Amino acid sequence: MTFCESNMFAGEDKGLGYAEEVYSISTREDGKALSLLCPTKKTFDKSNSLNIATLTIDIGAPFDGAISIETTHWLGALNPGPHFDLYPADKPPTSDVNILSSDILTTISSGSISATIKTDSSNFDIRFYATDGSKQLTSLLNRSVGFASVPSPRNPVQTGHIRNLQHSIFTQTGLSVGESIYGLGERSGAFNKVGHSITLWNADGGISRGQAYNNIPFWISSRGYGIFIDTPDKIELEIGSGRCSRVRTTVEGQRLKWYILHGPSPKEILQKYCILTGQPGNIPSWSFGPGLSTGSTADYDEVTVKSLVEGMKSRDISVGTFHFDSFWMKPFHWCDFVFDIEKFPDPKAQIAHLKSSVDKVCVSINPYLSQASPVFKLAASRGYLLRRKNGDIFQTDHWQTGIGIVDFTNPEAVEWYVSCLQELFDSGVDAIKTDFGQYIPTEDVEWFNAPLNPKKMRNYYAFLYTKIVYEALQDQFGENEAVLFARAASAGTQRFPVHCGSDCEPTPEGMAESIRGGLSLGLCGYSFWSVDIGGSISAGSPPPWLYKRWLAFGLLCSHSRLHGKTSSPVPWMIDGDDESAQGCSKILSKWTALRARLMPYLFSQAQESVTAGLPLSLRAMLLEFPDDPTCWYLDRQFMLGESILIAPVFEESGEVEFYLPAGRWTNFFTNKVKEGPGWFKEQHEFDTLPMYVRENTILVLGKWGERRTVYDYSKSVEVCLYHTRPGTKSTLFGCEGEVAGILEVGDDEHLVDQEFLQELSILVK
């Protein structure tokens, strides 16, 4: 949202007010916050205090390593919800707060981060830096904090007609030379966001359009800090795209609050972000099994489902979760929670039979109710649907005819919706795909909780939706057994895993876009993520070569799902059932078998990722190697946990170029060693890709031939020591999430005897 024609002039019909100086500073009673009075003109004498606006800037120390900044124009303006659910695990104590004042500056320190406000000059100057003095992080300098009115009032009296004005608050943090910015949700555009304008506004349009289903108001800087913008409202960001040396954050309203979190490492930044918005939830080991979907708009029935599952089984391809997508319900009836009886005469019996071949069953739901279904009339009569201001139910023909939107601000509507889910659980459903929920109207609507701001509900609705379904799953199956597959998200929804990337095009570019999206979402505290293997946004299927490359990438994400649009992307439909060693079926069988073997490592890394608020996969290289400048620009490769590097192949020829940071890296397939740092080129068939194990790694693998996801991770396993050093340790978790034991390398550089391991083999790489 650009308000200026240049650094000097406001845009046509736009009124701007900047904090020009810090006139006075007061300290809050508890000694943990400052309040700055900032006039929008220089106050050389008392007469200058007349007929001018001021901005109030409150700077606080919410917990060690974090500083909050709230800018307000008119303090009397209401601040309606919804508000993000902060500190879900309780707010940590602030133990290390200091405020020091002198004639020339005031400093507030919150553990490892400090802010200094200059008071000796008429220039506005606030700087944020590491308390130990090692680095300045960012700043708020001249003309960096202000408000804008559109159109510009000609005199102060006109602000009485504020409803006719668009009033916005903005701040502009400094962007240093060489600084790069990451995160902001599942964004498939540039990995480094510098130079881009981004709107945080959940939208339905496919990831290739620069829009996002998952808009997260949080970003990480390469200078060792992160910023969380504390509002679910529409946020406009100009990241070096307006004024090249600044990041402008703009929201419509009278106030803007954000937190600056000091690392200095990106891992530490994510830990602090998860203090604010919550840690990712734990998930069961069965959820890591490969998923198979019917396809989002496919026409299928009981016979089709049976043929898909039996076809996978006959080709030695394991299926962990089978996903009934969309048309398990009748056309024009989404979402009435009722199986189409013509297609599925006995859903409960079918699901029971299906579980003889797959581990779990998932169905796709959404928060929209079609008027063609009786469920619409029931929900409408009880006041469960979002209404217009005149009392009409808000309806649209988007996706299904005359849909109404479930109003989750109504407790009775929530209770009813959960009861519908219970009927699905009773039929044998184990998991839920929370589809849609990203397109919520903001004009001419009134929520059951009437004071709520409709614009803020646009992004926040995803949090309510996933939270309600996730907690219903927890009530049904247990706290750590709940699994949903969410499409839309907002800050805090990392607490309700898994999140799946959606609507990628079946092209190499689409696969690359998906990787950038997964990397960006992972840098917002999301531990678990999956991609639509093969792409799903168009009616066509990917060419066989791309499908096989996508299998390798998708099955090395934290979670995996074969998903198409008009049909299920099973391998024999892609290449005419090529039975050769390089055919789609054999390639898929190999990658699902490898995934099963990796489960002791994957599941142990999952537990540690949740604790630290880190992505299991896709984990950006910069998280593991923050001191390597190259790793801050790598958007075509990632880490699977802390020890395995993955570089997907995008070329039909199998050629691939990738980067290895400093150290010895061992090829997982050949055991050949490469020394980093450096760029390398390789060529791969479809059953391999660059998969390198980091030095000093203890890697536990399941036995050869294992096809299951859930098994005893301490029995009949293979322990591989990759250039390990004495004292190296690794925690092994069991398939129920319990600690099975600690693996340790002894002084002789061999594994210390571990009684908890049974029938193991040890390989020294």
Please give the full DSSP string across 508-535, using - where no structure is assigned.
Answer: HHHHHHHHHHHHHHHTTT--BEE-EET-
Task: For residues 541 and 730, give the distance between their C-alpha atoms in angstroms, rounded to a whole number.
Answer: 42
Which residues share a beta bridge with 733? 739
Q: Is 671 left (phi over 0), alpha (psi -120 to 50) or beta?
A: left
Name the CATH superfamily for 696-765.
Golgi alpha-mannosidase II (2.60.40.1180)
Per-residue pLDDT band for 719 (boundaries 50, 70, 90) equals very high
Residues of the chain with CATH 3.20.20.80: 285-612
Per-residue pLDDT band for 501 (boundaries 50, 70, 90) equals confident
Of 52 and 128, the structure prediction assigns the larger pLDDT to 128
Residue pLDDT, tens place only, 535-580:
886 657 899 999 999 999 999 999 999 998 888 889 999 999 999 9
List b or e across 148-158, with b for residues whose CB sees 16 or more CB atoms inside 10 angstroms.
Answer: bbbeeeeeeee
Per-residue pLDDT band for 468 (boundaries 50, 70, 90) equals very high
Tell which residue, 492, 562, 666, has the closest CA to residue 85.
492
Amino acid identity of 113?
I
Evaluate if residue 7 carries a pLDDT over 60. no
What average pLDDT does the structure give for the chain? Answer: 94
Evaluate if residue 53 carries a pLDDT over 80. yes
Evaluate if residue 185 carries a pLDDT over 60. yes
* 3-state secondary structure (DSSP) of residue 306: helix
- Tell me what pLDDT residue 398 has: 87
Residue for token digits 């990397």? 519
- Tell me what pLDDT residue 162 has: 61
Helix orientation angle between 411-426 and 374-381, rounded to the nearest 10 degrees: 150
Quick one: average pLDDT of 348-359? 96
Task: For residues 621 and 647, give the distance between their C-alpha atoms in angstroms, rounded to a whole number.
Answer: 11
Give the number of other CB atoms < 10 A from CB of residue 746.
13
Cβ burial, residue 142 (10 Å; 0-12/13-18/19+): middle
Residues of the chain with CATH 2.60.40.1760: 15-277
Per-residue pLDDT band for 707 (boundaries 50, 70, 90) equals very high
Residue pLDDT, tens place only, 197-240:
999 999 986 666 778 899 999 999 999 999 999 999 999 999 99
- Tell me what pLDDT residue 1 has: 60
Task: For residues 485 and 444, give the distance between their C-alpha atoms in angstroms, rounded to a whole number.
Answer: 31
Evaluate if residue 159 carries a pLDDT over 80. no
Tell which residue, 471, 522, 740, has the closest CA to residue 641.
522
182: which DSSP letter?
Answer: E
Evaluate if residue 118 carries a pLDDT over 60. yes
| CATH number for the domain whose boundaries are 285-612 | 3.20.20.80
Task: For residues 438 and 440, give the distance between their C-alpha atoms in angstroms, rounded to a whole number.
Answer: 6
Residues of the chain with CATH 2.60.40.1180: 696-765
What tokens were used for 229?
């913008």
Evaluate if residue 77 carries a pLDDT over 70. yes
User: Is residue 159 within a helix (H) or strand (E), and if so which, with residue range?
Assistant: none
- Tell me what pLDDT residue 763 has: 79
Evaluate if residue 9 carries a pLDDT over 60. no
Task: For residues 253 and 455, give the distance between their C-alpha atoms in angstroms, rounded to a whole number.
Answer: 11
- Tell me what pLDDT residue 536 has: 80
Quick one: average pLDDT of 506-515? 94
* 3-state secondary structure (DSSP) of residue 384: coil
Task: For residues 542 and 510, give the distance between their C-alpha atoms in angstroms, rounded to a whole number.
Answer: 10
- Tell me what pLDDT residue 205 has: 66
| CATH number for the domain whose boundaries are 15-277 | 2.60.40.1760
Evaluate if residue 23 carries a pLDDT over 80. yes
Of 427 and 153, the structure prediction assigns the larger pLDDT to 427
Percent over 90 (pLDDT), the chain: 84
Per-residue pLDDT band for 657 (boundaries 50, 70, 90) equals very high
Task: For residues 138 and 125, give the distance between their C-alpha atoms in angstroms, rounded to a whole number.
Answer: 11
Integer CA distances (angstroms), 134 to 131, 221, 223, 231, 327, in order: 8, 16, 11, 31, 58
Residue for token digits 């198409």? 564
Q: Mean pLDDT lowest for which of 25-39, 111-125, 457-471, 535-549?
A: 535-549
Per-residue pLDDT band for 43 (boundaries 50, 70, 90) equals confident
Per-residue pLDDT band for 295 (boundaries 50, 70, 90) equals confident
* 3-state secondary structure (DSSP) of residue 354: helix
- Tell me what pLDDT residue 10 has: 61
- Tell me what pLDDT residue 416 has: 98
Backbone angles phi, psi at 489, to 5 degrees: -155, 160
* Residues 6+ away with beta carbon under 8 Å from 216: 183, 184, 185, 200, 489, 490, 491, 521, 524
